[in-house]
């Protein structure tokens, strides 16, 4: 399963999506995102 993330800036909200065929879905419960998310300031 490929995992794609899209950052939508509405203050500090970040949403992650999983790619399934040609559509985007919410990741399965328990999915671990192993990256560092920080604000550039």
* Residue 35 belongs to domain spanning: 1-41
**pLDDT (0 to 100) of residue 8:** 65
pTM for the predicted model, two decimal places: 0.42
What letters, b where the CB count within 10 A reaches 16 and e where it falls short, cover 6-21?
eeeeeeeeeebebeee
Question: Is 1 a residue whose pLDDT tops 80?
Answer: no
Number of domains in the chain: 1
pLDDT tens sequence across 22-38: 898 988 888 877 776 66
Structure tokens given for 30? 């328990």
């Amino acid at each position: 399963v490929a995992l794609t993330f899209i950052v939508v800036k509405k203050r500090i909200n970040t949403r992650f999506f999983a790619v399934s065929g040609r559509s985007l879905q919410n990741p399965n419960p328990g999915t671990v995102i192993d990256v560092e998310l920080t604000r550039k300031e």
